[in-house]
Structure 1
Amino acid sequence: MIVRILGEGQYDLDDHALDALNGLDTQIELAIEHGDEEMFRTALDGLLASVRSSGTHHELDSLDESDLILPPGDATLDEVRQMLGDEGLIPGRAE
């Protein structure tokens, strides 16, 4: 799976990494629902750190499409709220 962090680049991740990402995605959604900036920041930082540590950089000159697109680390709660779909930032997760 190819995950893009906006403004940073693409990372290759194994599909099993989705479980950890899904938990953090749920925390981001809850933080946005409650307007909890501290929880939001912690969850977003954790999500991006997990992608960076679990993945490897995708080739820079590749034109491969990203499977997931995540906000940059400095995104605001409102910016991420606008990016959320019905299934959060990570579609297809188990509830």
Structure 2
Amino acid sequence: MIVRIMGEGQVKLDDYHFAELNKLDDELLEAMESGDEPGFRSTLTALLDAVRRLGTPLPDDALEPSELILPSPDASLAEVREMLSDDGLIPG
């Protein structure tokens, strides 16, 4: 799956990594629902770091369609809330 981190670029992630990412996504949702800004910030950072660590960066000139778009590291709680689906940021 091709994942874009807004403002950074794209990475290719194998499907088997999504179990780990979904755990972080659940933690992010929990922090958002409780209004825990520090928890939200640290979990968003952990989620994006995991995507960077587990994924293979695509070249900047690659024109692959992104199947998943994640917020930038400095996104606000309100901005991320607007990006959410029923499953959170990461489907599944």
Give TM-score, length-normalised by structure 2.
Answer: 0.95
Give TM-score, length-normalised by structure 1.
Answer: 0.93
Cα RMSD of the aligned pairs, angstroms, is 0.8
Deviation per residue, 1:49-88 (Å, 9 max, x gap)? 0011111111222211111100000001111011101111
State the 4+ residue runs in structure 1 displaced beyond 6 angstroms: none
Q: What is residue 50 of structure 2 aligned with on the other side?
A: 50
Distance of 1:38 and 1:20 partners within structure 2: 21
Distance of 2:56 and 2:63 partners within structure 1: 16
SS in 2 for 1:38: helix
Unaligned runs of 5+ in 2: none
In the alignment of these two chains, the number of paired residues is 92
Distance of 2:24 and 2:84 partners within structure 1: 13
SS in 2 for 1:75: coil
Q: What is residue 65 of structure 1 aligned with on the other side?
A: 65
